[in-house]
Structure 1
Amino acid sequence: MNERTEYWWVHHDSRIQPAEVGFVGGIPVHFRFLGTAGQVRAESAELIERLPAPPTPVFRPPPAAAASPAVKPQISGSWLWFIGILLLIFVAQCSGPIFDALK
């Protein structure tokens, strides 16, 4: 016997709501109203009409972060910083004699 789940409009306790209905061998066994927890036996409900497609959530979960490729650390900028710091040290050490020579 195969088990499957379908979505139906269900009449139960004077309410008509969409529900997830579990079938075993073509016979409805249980149902669960969408957005609620717990299952109810299908004997106490009446199936009205099958929904055309499973409902989709209104808020979609964000895409998985694992799917994005790993970012390589930027190495080329480190040489630029190194040269810039050396240049600053050079200017700080030699600024006196350089400015004296320009006069």
Structure 2
Amino acid sequence: MYLPKAWTEKPERLAAAHVPGDVTFASKPSLATAMIGRALAADVPFRWVAGDSVYGVSELEMALRRAGKGFVLGVNANHWFHSWRPDIHWSGEAREIIKCRSLD
């Protein structure tokens, strides 16, 4: 269950909402990574995962790579990219790269 950090810092609020005592703050990417881990352990069939920029640059990406799953994860417009391929020379912020129509 996702709870804002402000909630987890107020025990009286947690008690009033009947939140179990063992629930602590966890980021959305951490929660998603745990959910994917449980799905993999339970052999739930899936091929890919999509998420917005909250999930884009996080431990979730690495977990999906390790599991061999496809993914489409958003990033913020100021995220810095560069090409790992020597034959493609692109680098810069996402908002600048997206202006280009083709890589050739």
Question: Per the shorter chain, which TM-score range?
Answer: under 0.3
Larger of the two Rg values belongs to structure: 1
Provide TM-score, normalisation by structure 1: 0.17
Higher helix share: 2
Provide TM-score, normalisation by structure 2: 0.17
